A = this chain, B = another copy of it.
Amino acid sequence: MVDVKLLGFSFSPFAHRVIWALKFKGITYEYIEEDSKNKSQLLLQSNPVYKKVPVLIHGGKAIAESSVILEYIEETWPENPLLPKDNHERALARFWIKFGEDSIVSTLFLRPTEDEQERARAMKKAQETLTIMEEEGLGHKKFFGGNNIGMVDIVYGCLGHWLEGWEEIVGMKTIEASKFPGLHAWIQNFKQVPVIKENLPDYGKLLLHLERRRQEFII
C-alpha cells in the first residue's frame, strides 16, 4: 500500500520540486492533482494556513511548504543525498536555498508593466540577483552543489522552463548567455538530468497557463 501522497498542480514549480526529490529518492507515491479554483477538502485540511500545493502526506501526516518538504524527504529517505554530508557545506546549501526562496519569485518573475521606470528598476534588481546567483552561488561549478545535482538546484529549478516561459510571455529576457553564461549553461545541464527531463510539464501547455497568469496580473 502506498502511504505517500502528493497534492500537486501540473504547472506549479513548487510541486515539481517535491516530484523531483521523490523521483531522485526512488519513492513510490500517489499523485493527486488539485484544482486551484476548487480545492479539495484534503488540501484545505492539510494546509490550513496557506491552502496551497504542494502538500506531502506520509503515513497520514501532512507537511506543507516545498522547502520544508524537501528537508523532510532528505531526512526520511537518506539514500541518494540531496544535501552535502559536511555540516558547513550543508549550511551553505541552506543559505542558497533561502536566497532562492526570498528572491526568485519576487525579483526574477518580472511583472508586466507599461511604466518604463518601473520596468528598468525591476530589470536592474533582477540582474543584481542573477549576478549574485552566478558569481557567489554557482561559481564555476556545473551544479550549485558541485558535480552532482542537489537540493539547491531543485529549488532553483524554475529558472529553466518556468522563467523561460514567463519571459517569452512578458517579452523581457534576463538570463542571456552573454551576460550570465554560467546560469545559462546550468539551465541546460539541469534540464538534461533524466529525472528532471522526464518530469517537466509540457512547455506548450505551460506557456498557455502562464499567459492566463499574466492576464490575471494585469486585469
Smallest CB–CB gap between A147 and chain B, Å? 21
Kindly list chain B residues whose C-beta atoms are within 8 Å of the C-beta of A123.
none
Asked if A91 contacts B67 (CB within 8 A), the reply is: no
- The answer to whether A49 and B132 touch (CB under 8 A), given A67-B98, A94-B71, A98-B68, is yes
Kindly list chain B residues whose C-beta atoms are within 8 Å of the C-beta of A49.
95, 99, 132, 136
- The answer to whether A72 and B88 touch (CB under 8 A), given A132-B49, A136-B48, is yes
Kindly list chain B residues whose C-beta atoms are within 8 Å of the C-beta of A63.
88, 91-92, 95
Q: Which residue of B lies closest to A58 (CB)?
A: B88
The complex places the Cα of A88 from the Cα of B64 at a distance, in Å, of 11
Asked if B95 contacts A64 (CB within 8 A), the reply is: yes
Q: Is A164 interfacial (CB-CB < 8 Å)?
A: no
Q: Which residue of B lies closest to A75 (CB)?
A: B87
How many identical subunits does the complex contain?
2
Number of interface residues of A (CB under 8 A): 25
Q: Mark A56-85, 1 if CB is under 8 A from B, else 0.
A: 001001011101110110011000000000
Kindly list chain B residues whose C-beta atoms are within 8 Å of the C-beta of A48.
136
Kindly list chain B residues whose C-beta atoms are within 8 Å of the C-beta of A90.
71-72, 75
The complex places the Cα of A44 from the Cα of B76 at a distance, in Å, of 37
Smallest CB–CB gap between A173 and chain B, Å? 24
The complex places the Cα of A79 from the Cα of B6 at a distance, in Å, of 34
The complex places the Cα of A76 from the Cα of B94 at a distance, in Å, of 15
CB pairs A–B below 8 angstroms (10 shown): A48-B136, A63-B92, A64-B95, A65-B95, A68-B95, A68-B98, A71-B94, A72-B90, A72-B91, A75-B87
